[in-house]
Each structure stands twice: as structure tokens, then as C-alpha cells.
Chain A
Amino acid sequence: MHIQDGVLSPVVCAATGAISLGAVSYSVHRLKQSVGDRTIPLTGMMAALVFAGQMVNFPIGAPVSGHLLGGVLAATVVGPWAGCVAMTLVLFVQWALFSDGGLFALGANVLHMAVIGAWGGHAVRMFVQRFFGDCRKGIVIGSVVAAWATVMAAAALFCLEFRLSWPPSEIDFSKVFTLMVSFHSLIGLGEALITGVAISFVLNQRPELIWRMGTLARPDEETGRSAHPPIATITRTLVAGLVIALAIAAFLSPFASSFDDGLEAVLGKLGIENFNLTGSVPGLLEDYDKVPVPVAAWQSIAVSFAGIGGTLAVFALAWLLGKALPAAPPQLSEAAGE
């Protein structure tokens, strides 16, 4: 999941880094506004928890295992701003201690897992939650859908970044993207399942821990210090729409090579067609453009399966988890609004 240095070109790294820097700075700004004296220990612990939670392995096949990413989980427990900061710090420490993910790719990794994971995840969850009167069920279903959508959105974004990083003569992008989408729809399914089960477990055992996110947002009773103002609904809907659109785009990205000319034309107009600073040699592998026939068929099958099957599975999962919750919700539904 972590992008290493060398996968993306320096220009793309710089661009994603700038976007992430802006987003994280804004999160820190919002977090500072809300700094009650509890925020810092809570956020630090949340970051450590996401880090430790990623150590729990989930077996998929014999040798392959997945693990939690945690953006949506963090945003559900401590809110989008603290969640984004916590995820950023997790990614930073993973680079600094494990050398997991690159230094220059840190911007892209933060964008995919912290910004999309926490901001986008929060927005999608709130968006879905509104359709359920029963807030407790809404939280679980919302977080399951959000976990799936954020992973797919991150995959779509990666496809775009990867496409901008390398010249098209090098490689046939649509096939790479097919692989990426199929792979990430699996990862997304795992993320949705883990997030959903973990959150419904906490909701069953200690519901107030999840509701407490509301107390971070509301003014502190003792000090009366104002916490951060609630996020405007329109902003949230916009972000949610963006993430969902990106998730849908993930399924279109394998077909992106047919849009190549369009993309090139746009880049040419913007005067950045020489965005490739990677110093690779075009033309070395150009002769090999004949591919075996079955690949094309397999591609559309894989994408359709990933899209339809994955979406169905996520909604079945959300429904099952929602059903598994005890019927009587605690009288705290107001707190879940923000």
C-alpha cells in the first residue's frame, strides 16, 4: 500500500506533497482551534493505536495477508482533523522507523491514506449516516461504505499519479490499472470488513468511546472553551461526492489509455507536456505493442467483477453488520450528528 520512492516522478511527488502539506496544515489549524487539554494525548494515542492496529494480520490466502489502514477508524473515533493528523504522523513514523514508504512519496502516501482516509472517510460516513434514522446502525454502515470508498478513491488517485509519472511509451497503463483496481477492490473489502467489525465491536462494548467524538466537537463544559465549529453540510457533501466520484473513477481508470490523447492535449495546452523528469529512454521498448488477445477480455471481466462484486459485497457486509447490532440504541443519537 505504501508508495516507495522511485515509483512516482519527482514532479508528481512535489505536487502531491504540496497538496498534502496544505491539507495537513489545515487539519492542524482546525485541531489547534479545538485544543482542549485532552486533544493531544488522545490524538497521540490514536496514532499509536493505528500503528499497532496495522500489525494485526488478516490472512487472505496461504502466504498473503492484509492489514488495517485505519483512516476511517481514526476519523470515526477522534474526528476528521485529529484523524488526519494522526494518520499523517503514522505515515511519517513508518518512514522514519521502518523506512516503509518513501520520503518524497510521503506526500502521495499522506494524500491517499490520511487526507482521503480521514477527511474523505468522515465525509462519506456522515453522508451515508444521514440515510439512517438509527444512528448506531448508521455509524457502522457509514464507516463500512466509507472504508471501501476511500480505498478505491486512493487507488484511482494513484492511477492518475502513476500515469503522470511515466511516458506512455514505457508501458501499457490500462493493464497496470486493471491490476491495481482488482487488487485494491480486495484491499478495500478487507478494510471495510475490519473497520466495520471493529467499530461495531466498540459500539457494543463501550459505545461512549465512539460518541465521544461529539464531545471533541462541542464546547468543553468545564472551561467553556469553544471547540471547532461544525463543518458545513455542503462542504461535507462536496468532499463525500468527490471521494465517491474518485472511487467510481477507479473502475474507469483501466480504460484510461483511450483518453491518453485527450490528456496529452490538455497537458500540452497547459505547457507541461514535458512533465516527465524521470530520465527514462523512450523508444527502447516501443516495438512490443502486440499483446496476447485474452488480456483484453480478461481486463473487462476483472474490472466488472471488481466493481459489481465488490460493491455488492460491501453493501451485504454493511447490512449484515447493521443487523448484528442490538436493536435498542442509547439515547445519544444527537451527539453523533457532528
Chain B
Amino acid sequence: MSDFLDRFGRGQSMCHRWPPFAKLFAAIAMILAATCVPITHGPLVGIVACVIFFAHTLARIPLAYVGRRLLFFWPTLFLMAISLPLSQAGQKGWLLFVTILVRGTLSFSTALWLVNVMPFDQLLATLRRLRVPDVLLAILSLMYRFLFVLWDELDRMRTARSARLFRKPSLWETWRSAAHLVGRLLIRALDRADRIHGAMLARGWDGRSRWIDQSREDRP
């Protein structure tokens, strides 16, 4: 799962070698452009789209991968956008529909680019230099660490559930078992948090987070 999300984050292209700040601000600028350019100015939108496409090629992110991610993304965006003209009985709102589709697609591809040129730890380090509070970053890094652990846990619980189901459950049963799944996951997660806390205490945790200074480490 994690591999699917930022598969090319560790690549070695030109974009990957940019300083982290440049990558972050380039992405923000691109999203700003994508959301602010009036949709009726076709050429401008085209230029923004070309820049984003060019950035993807520079970062050597395969088109097939981008396409697959977009395929997962479009249905939800489409549903949201189509509800506008549908609610007007198809007579109004088509301009809004197109606007939302185009802007959503462009900003999604930009975010996808950022994920794939900037590994999460680099993003954390950049945020830290931007003076995001340490508490937030400590929680964020812990969350990122255990996100995938919990996903695997959830996967195992789902497997166990389907192994014990011999017939198609009714809608209510599905709901109840899904809610129990969440509750059980909650219990396990909190127990795990306790164990992690114990392990952290054993390693001298005193409630303050310390960070390795990456720039100093890189120096010879």
C-alpha cells in the first residue's frame, strides 16, 4: 500500500535533487495557478497543464502510474461535480462542473508530483524548518510510522472476518460487524499506544522530541 502511494519518492531524477523548499513551493505555486486561472481562458489552463505534465516527465514518473492514480481519483471528483448540473435539472451549472473537474484534476496531479519527488521524512524536515510546532511533528511522525502497521492489522482482521463468514451477511450485519471492526481496532490501537509509550519510556522519553539535524549530518 505504501509503495503504491509514493512509489517514486526515492528516485534520483532532477526534480528529486531540488532542495526540499523549492519542491514544496513549486508545488504550492502550481496548485495556486491551477485554482486561480479562469477556466474560460483556455490557453492559460493549457499552459498550467503543460507545466504540470512537464514536471512529471522531469521527475521520471511514468505516465501509466499517473493515469492509474487518476482513474481512482476521477470517479469521486466526477460525482461531486456532476451533482451540480444534475441538481439544476441539467440546465445550469455546466461551467462550474467543468471548472471543478479541471481544477481538481490539475491540483491532484500536482499533489501527486509532490508526493513522488518528496519522501515523507523530507516533508517533515521541511515543515520543521518552517517552524511548525514540534508537538505536531512528533505526533505526525508517530502517526505515519504506525499508519501502515494499523492497516496491516485491519487487513488481518478483515481476513479473519471473511474466514468466519459462511453466508452473505445482511446489510445490518455488515454494518454491525464493520462498526465492531472499528471498535476492535480502536482497542488494539490504544493497547499498542500503551506498549509504545512503555518502550519510549524505556529509551528515555521525557515528552520532548529531538531531531537529528540533517544538514549538519551531511557535512563532511
Contacts and interface: CB of A to CB of B under 8 A. Distances in A.
Contacts of B87: 172, 175-176, 178-179
A122 B37 CA distance: 40
Contact of A291 (B89, B120, B143): B89
Interface stretch (A46-54, A232-240, A265-273): A46-54
Contacts of A205: 183-184, 187
B125 interface: no
Contacts of A278: 38, 99
Contact of A45 (B41, B88, B176, B192): B192
B215 interface: no
A58 B136 contact: no
A98 B172 CA distance: 30
Contacts of B112: 99
Nearest to A38: B197
A104 to B, nearest CB: 6
B187 A56 contact: no
Given A97-B5, A179-B83, A5 B34 contact: yes
A284 B95 CA distance: 9
Contact of B84 (A55, A92, A171): A171
A90 B174 CA distance: 25
A295 B89 contact: yes
A314 interface: no
B96 A48 contact: no
A48 B146 contact: yes
Interface stretch (A130-138, A149-157, A190-198, A244-252): A190-198
Q: How large is the interface on B (under 10, 10 to 19, 20 to 34, 35 or more residues)?
A: 35 or more
Interface string A193-228: 110111101100110010000000000000000000
A5 B144 CA distance: 24
A279 B183 CA distance: 47
Interface in B78-105: 80, 83-84, 86-89, 91-96, 99-100, 102-104
B135 A31 contact: yes
A293 to B, nearest CB: 11
B182 A194 contact: yes
Contact of A37 (B40, B114, B151, B207): B207
A49 B107 contact: no
A89 B139 contact: yes
A92 B141 CA distance: 12
B186 A202 contact: yes
B65 interface: no
Interface stretch (B12-20, B56-64, B198-206): B198-206
Interface in A277-329: 277-281, 284-285, 288-292, 295
B115 interface: yes
B55 interface: no
A103 interface: yes
A45 B139 CA distance: 8
A5 B73 CA distance: 13
A103 B24 CA distance: 12
Contact of B154 (A52, A59, A209): A52
B179 A209 contact: no
A44 B173 CA distance: 31
B190 A280 contact: no
B53 interface: no
A96 to B, nearest CB: 6
A280 B95 contact: yes
B150 A10 contact: no
Contacts of B193: 41-42, 44-46
Interface in B39-83: 39-41, 69, 73, 77, 80, 83
A49 B143 CA distance: 9
Contacts of A102: 31, 35, 104, 107
A50 to B, nearest CB: 9
Nearest to B184: A201
A89 B136 contact: yes
Contacts of A285: 92-95
B95 A45 contact: no
Contacts of A263: none
13 contacts: A4-B108, A37-B201, A42-B193, A44-B193, A68-B182, A92-B140, A99-B111, A202-B186, A206-B187, A209-B186, A279-B36, A280-B96, A281-B95
Given A57-B178, A103-B107, 4 more contacts: A52-B189, A77-B190, A90-B143, A290-B91
Interface of A: 4-7, 10, 28, 31-32, 35-49, 51-53, 55-59, 68, 73, 77, 85-86, 89-90, 92-93, 95-99, 102-104, 166, 170-172, 175-176, 178-179, 183, 193-194, 196-199, 201-202, 205-206, 209, 277-281, 284-285, 288-292, 295
The 6 closest A-B pairs by CB, nearest first: A6-B103, A44-B142, A279-B38, A201-B183, A197-B179, A45-B193
